[in-house]
């Protein structure tokens, strides 16, 4: 592994938490059996509104220094990217304000993020025609997956700031992905690698009983 990938981790995976969330999937916990649309209901079925910003992770947090951070976009692309944080911050920046919805039932309105829109980075990497999915990897080892159509939406952002301040480590700093139209486990913290693929590659929660897509209004919590 390259030297700049040697990122120190604190904590360890909370196995009991992972097991409990797998039990949620087996039991269908929190399911209401109803569906809606963003146009009809701002709050998806079964969600409750919060005003704080809960911290959820697997028990491990990477300590990614600005000098060691790298964002890679590779796989089925014509021009693979490997950006330092300085190079990432030098790209044209935009702001997005959106609601976020966690599969553990909380939602938070009006989150302002600053960063680089996903379509802008894809344009630089130039996906090949056969790219249909993306596999996402974080510095803590977490993985998740998205269809290219869900990943490339204009509201999605590689974010370095939240509410006008740099993202704190506990919320995914220095850079996290924000995909607001899906449950928030699809918006990985500490993102370091985006691999474009021909075939789907389910991630950490998807192989543990969680839905492969995760639309909150369709209540796609579990497989």
pLDDT band, residue 12 (cuts 50/70/90)? confident
Distance CA 188, CA 141 (A): 10
| pLDDT tens-digit map of 51-78 | 999 998 999 999 999 999 999 999 999 9
pLDDT in the model for residue 44 = 98
Average pLDDT over residues 11-21: 92
CATH architecture of 36-208: Alpha-Beta Complex (3.90)
Average pLDDT over residues 100-109: 98
Q: Which residues contact residue 14 at a Cβ distance below 8 angstroms, ignoring those fewer than 6 apart?
A: 58, 59
pLDDT at position 202 over 50:
yes
The H-or-E segment that residue 62 falls in is strand 60-62
Q: Nearest 10 degrees: CA dihedral of 98, 92, 148, 222?
A: -30
pLDDT at position 8 over 60:
yes
pLDDT band, residue 1 (cuts 50/70/90)? very low
Residue 170 is classified by DSSP as: G
Mean pLDDT of all residues in the chain? 96
pTM beyond 0.75, yes or no: yes
| pLDDT tens-digit map of 138-187 | 999 999 999 999 999 999 999 999 999 999 999 999 999 999 999 999 99
pLDDT in the model for residue 143 = 98
Centroid of chain to Cα 135: 11
Domain boundaries, the chain: 36-208
pLDDT in the model for residue 5 = 62
Between the alpha carbon of residue 108 and those of residues 85, 100, 114, 158, the distances in Å are: 28, 5, 17, 19
Kind of pairing between the strands at 157-162 and 106-117: antiparallel
The H-or-E segment that residue 138 falls in is strand 133-138
């Amino acid at each position: 592994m390259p030297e700049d990938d040697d990122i120190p981790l604190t904590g360890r995976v909370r196995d009991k938490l992972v097991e409990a969330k797998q039990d949620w999937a087996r039991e269908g916990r929190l399911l209401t059996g109803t569906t809606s649309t963003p146009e009809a209901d701002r709050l998806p079925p079964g969600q409750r509104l919060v005003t704080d910003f809960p911290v959820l992770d697997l028990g491990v947090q990477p300590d990614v220094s600005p000098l060691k951070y790298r964002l890679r976009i590779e796989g089925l692309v014509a021009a693979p990217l490997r950006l330092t944080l300085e190079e990432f911050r030098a790209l044209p920046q935009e702001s997005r304000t959106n609601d976020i919805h966690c599969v553990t039932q909380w939602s938070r309105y009006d989150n302002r993020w600053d960063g680089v829109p996903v379509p802008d980075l894809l344009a630089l990497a130039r996906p090949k025609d056969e790219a249909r999915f993306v596999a996402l990897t974080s510095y803590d080892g977490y993985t998740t997956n998205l269809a290219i159509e869900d990943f490339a939406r204009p509201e999605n952002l590689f974010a370095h700031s939240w509410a006008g301040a740099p993202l704190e480590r506990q919320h995914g700093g220095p850079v996290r992905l924000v995909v607001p139209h899906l449950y928030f486990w699809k918006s990985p913290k500490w993102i370091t690698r985006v691999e474009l693929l021909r075939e789907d590659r389910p991630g950490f929660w998807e192989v543990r009983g969680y839905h492969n897509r995760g639309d909150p209004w369709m209540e796609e919590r579990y497989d």
